[in-house]
C-alpha cells in the first residue's frame, strides 16, 4: 500500500468515527418522530435528528469522494456491516424513557460541541467547513438538552429520579468518547484530526456543572465500557441497522 | 402525562425579516418563557421563517368580545374618507 492510499484510508476512517455518531444518533431520534412526549418536543427532537443527518451527509459525501473504491454516500450509510460502523456506544443506547433521550443527547452534545470547536480549525478544509456549519446547530442542541436536564433534574420528584437514573446508567459510555482509535491518533499526529483527550477534563467539568445546576448527583462510577469506535457494539446496534438498512437491502439501489 | 396538561399556552410572534413587524404565527404549550422560546424556534422557524421571536403567555392578552363587534367595528365600515386612498404612494414605500 503506498502512502497516498494509506492516507486516504486513514482519513476515510477518521471521517467515519465522527460521522457515524451523527448517523446513529439521528436514527435513534428519528424513532421518536410522532412519539415525542409533547407535540413541541417531538418537533424539536426531529429537528435535531435532521441537523445530525445533514452533517452525516456532508461527511459521507466527503468520505465517498476520497475513497479509492467506487462508493456513494448511500453505500456508506446503508451497506456496511455492523463491525464497520465506528460510532461510540453512547449514541446507540435506546430511548428507554424521555430521561434517557435527554441524558444521551446532553452527554453527547457537550462532547460534540467541543469537537466541532476544534475541528473548525482543521487544515482539512472540507472537515473545517462541515464543522463550521455544524457548530451552530450543535450549539443549539447543547442548549436544548442542557435546559431539559435542568428542568427534569430540578423538577418533580419523579422527573428527578428518572433523570438521575438515565445519567447514572449512561455515564459508563462517556469515557469512550475520549478513547482514540488508530485513525484518530494518526490524524491527530498529522495535525488534521483532533486529539480528543485535550478536552476530556473540560468535558467532565462542564457536564458536572450542568448536573449540579440540575440538582443531580455527578456519578462516581469509575467503570467504563467501550468498543463502538472499533466496531464492537452493544446488542442494540443490530436492531438499529435492521431498521436503517431495510430499504436498501430489500430493494438494492433504490432511490427516493 | 398529567403534568403537560398544566403547561400554559403561549402566543408566538415572529419577525420574518429585519424591517418587518412581528406577526402572530400561532400558539403552543410550554412550561415557561424560555421553553416557549425554544419550542417556537423549533415549531415556527425551522424553515428559515424568522429573525426574531416574541412569546407572550396567552392569558396576558386581552381580547375584544365578538359580541361587541357591532359597536366596535361597524361604525368604521362606511367612512371611506378615513382611508388614505386619496394619496398616491411612491413605489419605494413598501409594506404599507
CATH at B17 = 3.10.20.520
Q: Is residue A88 part of a domain?
A: yes
Cβ pair A56, A244 in contact under 8 A? no
Alpha-carbon gap: B20 to the closest alpha carbon of chain A (Å): 25
Euclidean distance between the first and final Cα of chain B, in Å? 46
Rg (alpha carbons) of chain A, rounded to whole number? 18
Average pLDDT, chain A: 95
pTM of the model: 0.88
A157 touches chain B (CB under 8 A): no
Q: Is residue A256 part of a domain?
A: no
For position A99, what pLDDT does the model report?
98
- The ipTM (two decimal places) reads 0.76
Render pLDDT for B38-92 as a digit per residue (tens, 0 to 9).
Answer: 999 999 998 888 999 999 999 999 999 999 988 888 888 888 888 777 778 888 8
Can you tell me the distance from the alpha carbon of A239 to that of A117, in angstroms, rounded to the nearest whole number?
A: 32
Can you tell me the distance from the alpha carbon of A202 to that of A110, in angstroms, rounded to the nearest whole number?
A: 10
Q: Is residue A245 part of a domain?
A: yes
Q: Do B34 and A47 touch (CB under 8 A)?
A: no
Instruction: Give the residue from A32, A33, A35, A38 with the most B CB atoms within 10 Å of its CB, the best one to mutate.
Output: A38
What are residue B10's DSSP bridge partners?
B28, B57
Report the phi/psi class of residue A107: left, alpha or beta, with left for phi > 0 and alpha for psi in -120 to 50.
alpha
Q: Is residue A255 part of a domain?
A: no
Residues with Cβ within 8 Å of residue A142, at least 6 apart in sequence: A106, A109, A110, A112, A113
Residues with Cβ within 8 Å of residue A137, at least 6 apart in sequence: A51, A54, A55
CATH of the domain at A64: 1.20.1260.10
Can you tell me the distance from the alpha carbon of A5 to that of A2, in angstroms, rounded to the nearest whole number?
A: 6
| DSSP category for residue A65 | H
Enclosing domain of residue A137? 3-250
Render pLDDT for A69-86 as a digit per residue (tens, 0 to 9).
Answer: 888 999 999 999 999 999
Alpha-carbon gap: A151 to the closest alpha carbon of chain B (Å): 10
Q: Is residue B66 part of a domain?
A: no
Q: Is residue A14 part of a domain?
A: yes
Give me the number of domains chain A comprises: 1
For position B96, what pLDDT does the model report?
65
For position A2, what pLDDT does the model report?
57
Amino acid at each position: 500500500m503506498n502512502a497516498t492510499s494509506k492516507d486516504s484510508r486513514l482519513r476515510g476512517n477518521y471521517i467515519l468515527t465522527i460521522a457515524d455518531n451523527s448517523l446513529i444518533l439521528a436514527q435513534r431520534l428519528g424513532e421518536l418522530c410522532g412519539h415525542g412526549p409533547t407535540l413541541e418536543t417531538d418537533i424539536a427532537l426531529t429537528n435535531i435528528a435532521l441537523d445530525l443527518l445533514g452533517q452525516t451527509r456532508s461527511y459521507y459525501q466527503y468520505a465517498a469522494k476520497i475513497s479509492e473504491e467506487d462508493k456513494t454516500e448511500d453505500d456508506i450509510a446503508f451497506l456496511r456491516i455492523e463491525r464497520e460502523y465506528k460510532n461510540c456506544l453512547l449514541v446507540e443506547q435506546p430511548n428507554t424513557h424521555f430521561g434517557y433521550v435527554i441524558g444521551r443527547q446532553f452527554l453527547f452534545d457537550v462532547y460534540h460541541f467541543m469537537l466541532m470547536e476544534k475541528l473548525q480549525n482543521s487544515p482539512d478544509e472540507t472537515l473545517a467547513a462541515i464543522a463550521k456549519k455544524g457548530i451552530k446547530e450543535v450549539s443549539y442542541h447543547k442548549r436544548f438538552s442542557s435546559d431539559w436536564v435542568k428542568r427534569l433534574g430540578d423538577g418533580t420528584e419523579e422527573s428527578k429520579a428518572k433523570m438521575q437514573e438515565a445519567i447514572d446508567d449512561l455515564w459508563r459510555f462517556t469515557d469512550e468518547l475520549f478513547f482514540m482509535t488508530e485513525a484518530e491518533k494518526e490524524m491527530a499526529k498529522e495535525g488534521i484530526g483532533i486529539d480528543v483527550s485535550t478536552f476530556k477534563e473540560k468535558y467532565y467539568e462542564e457536564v458536572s456543572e450542568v448536573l449540579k445546576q440540575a440538582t443531580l448527583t455527578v456519578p462516581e462510577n469509575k467503570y467504563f465500557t467501550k468498543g463502538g469506535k472499533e466496531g464492537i457494539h452493544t446488542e442494540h446496534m443490530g436492531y438499529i441497522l435492521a431498521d436503517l438498512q431495510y430499504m436498501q437491502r430489500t430493494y438494492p439501489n433504490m432511490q427516493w | 402525562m398529567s403534568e403537560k396538561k398544566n403547561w400554559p399556552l403561549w402566543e408566538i410572534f415572529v419577525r420574518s425579516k429585519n424591517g418587518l413587524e412581528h406577526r402572530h404565527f400561532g400558539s403552543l404549550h410550554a412550561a415557561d418563557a424560555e421553553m416557549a422560546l425554544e419550542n417556537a424556534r423549533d415549531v415556527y422557524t425551522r424553515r428559515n421563517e424568522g429573525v426574531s421571536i416574541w412569546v407572550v403567555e396567552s392569558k396576558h392578552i386581552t381580547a375584544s368580545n365578538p359580541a361587541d363587534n357591532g359597536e366596535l367595528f361597524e361604525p368604521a365600515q362606511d367612512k371611506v374618507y378615513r382611508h388614505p386612498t386619496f394619496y398616491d404612494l411612491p413605489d419605494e414605500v413598501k409594506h404599507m
